[in-house]
Every structure is written in C-alpha cells, then in structure tokens.
Amino acid sequence: MRKEFSAALEKLVTEDESIIFITGDLGYAALESLQAKLGKRFINAGVAEQNMVGVAAGFAHKGYKVFCYSIAPFIVYRCLEQFRNDVCFHNLPVFIVGNGGGYGYGIMGSTHHTLEDLACLSGLQNANVWVPGFADEVEPVIRQIVADGKPAYLRLGFGKNTPENSYISGSFKVIHEVDSPEITIFALGPIANNVITALDQSAELGEKVNVISALHFPLELTDEIIQLVEKAPAILVAEEHVSTGGLAQQLSVQLLERGVKINSFKSLKAEGYPNRKYGSQAYHQKISELDPVSIAAHIHQLIIPA
C-alpha cells in the first residue's frame, strides 16, 4: 500500500498547503514524486524517530498537519513516549504512518515486525488507529485522517482492492454477506485478503459465512454489525497482532457490554516465534494459522464441531 499512500498524498498536498511530510530516512524509490511536489514541506529527519515526532508536534502546534513516515516498528515503538506526551495529550494533527505492519518485513526478524501496535496506540487519548485491508481504502482513509485533524496512526500492509458490494458500518466494513450465515468472521486489515482467498477456494464455505473487516479503532460497533453477529453468533477473529489489546480482545469487550450472546468465539492471532525461526510474511502467517488454508480449516471446524 506504500505506492497508494504516496499517490494519495500527492493529491492532498496540492490541495492543502498546511500539510508537511517528515520521513525517518526511509521511502526511497517510492516517495520521490511526493518530495518534488512538497518541496520544502518534505523533510528527512534522519534516523531519529523520537526527534521527528517532537518536531512534528511543534509544526502542528503552529497550525500545520504533519505526516511522520517510517517502517511500522520504528514509528510505533521508538517514539511512543513522544507521540503520547507531545501529540496525543495536546490533541495535535500529527499522523504517524507505519509501512509493513505485522510480519510485513519478514526475514528481517522480530526487530522489524509490528505485532503489538494496536495494544500500544489504540488506548492513547485522542488517538485514532487505522488499518486498511485493501489498497483502494488508503486514499479515503488518508483524507479522513486529515479531515479529522486528530492524532492518528496508519498501519500499511499489502492488499488487493475491496470486494464488490462491500459497505462500511461504523468502524467496520462488511466485505462478504450471505442470506443464511453460520459463522461471522472478523478480520484485521490485510488478513481479510487471506479470508477472502480461503472462501474463493470453496464455494461451500462462501455460502456459510459473513466476513467483516475492522478498519479503525476505537471500535464503533453499530446496531447493523450486531444484527449480523446475532444471525451467526459463532465468531472467528483473524488478526496479524498478538492477542493482548488486539481486535479479538477489544471486540469481545464491546460485545459483552452490549449484551450480545455468542455461541462460540475463536481467535487466530500472531503467535510470535514458537519455533524460534524467521521467514517471509507468508511463512509467519502459516505458523500462526493465518494463511488461507488454515483459515479454511478453522471455518470447517466451526461449521462441523469435533
């Protein structure tokens, strides 16, 4: 989604001269065109993420809207204190953008993976967290972030375009809906692509599930989404994030608070490194049973309990 992000931002910066872009010495072979359009409003802060966010807060205090860009683990973990204290507490329009969320940087290992970002950021005061699952969601999400003018985190990954007939409800998007579902699947961001791939491989499965992707946090659980859950109260959650503070945990709390009765609840999540090996993103998704084949197997288990 990096190219979609750059293309969308190129449009925005020509419309809004208050937008500043700061990179932590990353984005080569992707951001050159954006740099040309921004001129002096494009700043390379170097490998100094904490300072980058502090500088962004200063610009924001003076009326600018500031995007801070790096790979996801660097923009989240290295400058968490600065984002919390300098940006969120003051409700400033600073938007941190992390490329390659989850296991996105694959073989580079745990230092370059981002498995706890929702837990770190979604509870911060005034902050919104955005996790687009599909490439065509990036531009409208960026426009919404700028329009809100609030602290925000955008986690970028890799995704195809949104399936046809999808629709947004609250902080969710319904991407697959059937008349007589047996299971409701909630997916975080690009993992929704794996769920759709699993359904495409089996027409039988596709006829028995509703699929809903979570687009942003804090979660807004609408009556419409609750009605879908009540039609198929066997829930499967799939997310490239650890269980603590992730989609499954936050969703289950809201369902309990709303008094929604659930027949079963299964959570597929990032399992870390159980075999102490590193590999591609697809490899780690398979180890965590977040690949299409594993997801399909879990759907079968929910339809036909052992």
Per-residue pLDDT tens digits for 150-179: 999 999 998 899 999 999 999 999 999 999
Query: Could you tell me the pLDDT band of residue 225, with boundaries at 50, 70 and 90?
Result: very high
Instruction: Please name the residue ranges forming H helices in the chain.
Output: 2-15, 32-38, 49-61, 72-77, 80-82, 117-121, 138-148, 191-200, 203-206, 223-231, 247-257, 281-287, 292-303
Backbone phi, psi, residue 283, to 5°: -65, -50
In a domain, 171, yes or no: yes
Question: Does 265 share its domain with 221?
Answer: yes
Question: Does 211 share its domain with 296?
Answer: yes
| pLDDT number for residue 3 | 86
What's the gap between Cα 191 and its chain centre? 9
Q: What confidence tens digit (pLDDT) does each residue in 226-269 have?
A: 999 999 999 999 999 999 999 999 999 999 999 999 999 999 99
In a domain, 275, yes or no: yes
Whether the per-residue pLDDT at 28 is higher than 80: the answer is no
Region 134-140: mean pLDDT is: 95
Task: Please give the Cα distance from 247 to 198 (Å, whole number).
Answer: 20
Instruction: Indicate the residue among 113, 133, 156 that finishes a domain.
Output: 156
Domain that holds residue 109: 2-156
Long-range contacts for 37-41 (Cβ within 8 Å, ≥24 apart)?
Answer: 37/10, 37/13, 38/13, 41/13, 41/17
| pLDDT number for residue 151 | 98
Domain count, the chain: 2
Whether the per-residue pLDDT at 305 is higher than 70: the answer is no
Find, among 147, 145, 97, the residue nearest to 121 by Cα: 97
In a domain, 162, yes or no: no
Quote the pTM value: 0.95
Highest mean pLDDT among 23-27, 43-47, 198-202, 256-260: 256-260
User: What CA–CA distances, in Å, run from 135 to 89, 142, 192?
Assistant: 31, 12, 12
Lowest mean pLDDT among 46-50, 142-146, 246-250: 46-50
Task: Please give the Cα distance from 139 to 48 (Å, whole number).
Answer: 27
Whether the per-residue pLDDT at 306 is higher than 70: the answer is no
Question: CB of 208 within 8 A of CB of 236?
Answer: no
Percent of the chain's residues with pLDDT above 90? 87
Mean confidence (pLDDT) of the chain:
94
Question: Does 221 share its domain with 139?
Answer: no
Whether the per-residue pLDDT at 22 is higher than 70: the answer is yes
Question: Does 172 share its domain with 133?
Answer: no
Query: Could you tell me the pLDDT band of residue 80, with boundaries at 50, 70 and 90?
Result: very high
